[in-house]
Structure 1
Amino acid sequence: MSNASNPPLPPLPGPGAPADAGPGAPRGRSTASGVLVFLVMVGCGMVVGGLIGRASKSSTADLDRVQGIAAIAGILVALPMVLVLHELGHVVGGLAAGFRFNLFVVGPLKVVREADRIRARLNTNLSIAGGLAGCSPTGSGDHRRGMILMVAAGPIASLLGAAAGLLGAGATGGFAPGASGWSAASGMVLGAFGLGSLAIGLLTLVPGRTGNFMTDGARLIGLLRKGPEADREAAVIGLVAESASGIRPRDWDPGLVSRAVSVPDGSLLDAVAEQLAYSWALDRGDLTLARDHLARSLSLADRLPPSVRPAIELEAAAFEAAIRADAAACRRWLDRAGVPGGLVPRHLRPTAEAALAVAEGRFEDAPTHIEAARDALSRTSDPGSIPVARDRLDDLSRRCRPMDPPAHPEPKVAGSF
Structure 2
Amino acid sequence: MSEKRKSQFTKYIALAVFTVVCAVGGYFIGKMGSSLAIPKASIMLATVLFIPAFFIVIAVHEAGHAITGVLVGFDFRTFIVGPFLWDKEGAKWKFKWNTNINTAGGMVLCLPKGKESISKKFALFAAGGPLASIALTVVTAGIAYFIHINEMGSSATKAILLLLSGLSALIFLTTIVPYRAGGLASDGARIIKMLSGGEGAKFEILILTIIASTSSGVRPKLLDIETLTEAQVLGEKINAPFKIYLPGIFHQRAFDEGDLDAAEVHLTNHIAVVDEMPKGFNGVVWLDAAFFHAYARKNLDKAIEYWEKFVPSAMIPKAQIYATEAAIAQLKNDYALASSKIEDAKKELPNMIDRGVAVALEEKLDSLKRRTVIES
TM-score, normalised on structure 2? Answer: 0.77
Measure the CA separation in 1 of the matches of 2:33 and 2:256: 61
Secondary structure of 2:175's aligned partner: helix
- In structure 2, the residue matched to 1:104 is 80
Structure number with higher relative contact order (C-alpha < 8 Å, ≥ 6 residues apart): 1
Q: Which runs of no fewer than 5 residues in structure 2 stay unpaired?
A: none
- In structure 2, the residue matched to 1:41 is 18
Cα distance change, pair 376–227 in 1 and its aligned pair in 2 (3 A):
same
- In structure 2, the residue matched to 1:256 is 227
Residue identity opposite 1:157 in structure 2: A
CA contact (8 A) 2:119 2:201 kept: no
- In structure 1, the residue matched to 2:360 is 388
Secondary structure of 1:357's aligned partner: helix
CA contact (8 A) 1:261 1:277 kept: no
CA contact (8 A) 1:317 1:333 kept: yes
Cα distance change, pair 57–118 in 1 and its aligned pair in 2 (3 A):
closer
Q: 2:247 aligns with which of 271, 274, 281?
A: 274
Secondary structure of 1:207's aligned partner: coil
- In structure 2, the residue matched to 1:224 is 195
- In structure 2, the residue matched to 1:18 is none
**Can you list the C-alpha shifts for 1:216-244, whole angstroms capped at 9, x where unaligned?**
11112233333333333333334345546
CA contact (8 A) 1:266 1:300 kept: no
**As a proportion of its length, which structure holds more helix?**
2
Q: Which runs of no fewer than 5 residues in structure 1 stay unpaired?
A: 1-24, 404-417
Is 2:268 the counterpart of 1:292?
no
Following superposition, the deviation at residue 164 of structure 1 comes to: 0.8
CA contact (8 A) 2:177 2:186 kept: yes
Percent identity, aligned pairs only?
23
Following superposition, the deviation at residue 160 of structure 1 comes to: 0.8
Mapping of residues 123-272 of structure 1, within 5 Å: 124=101, 131-137=105-111, 141=115, 144-173=119-148, 186-187=157-158, 189-209=160-180, 213-243=184-214, 247-262=218-233, 263-264=235-236, 267-272=240-245
Measure the CA separation in 2 of the matches of 1:338 and 1:276: 20
Q: 2:27 aligns with which of 18, 42, 50?
A: 50
Measure the CA separation in 2 of the matches of 1:390 and 1:365: 18
Secondary structure of 1:135's aligned partner: strand
* Higher Rg: 1
Secondary structure of 1:104's aligned partner: strand
Following superposition, the deviation at residue 215 of structure 1 comes to: 1.0
Number of residues paired by the alignment? 365
Measure the CA separation in 2 of the matches of 1:390 and 1:286: 18
Measure the CA separation in 1 of the matches of 2:264 and 2:330: 20
TM-score, normalised on structure 1? Answer: 0.71
**Can you list the C-alpha shifts for 1:143-198, whole angstroms capped at 9, x where unaligned?**
65553333211101011112212322332346xxxx98967665554345334433
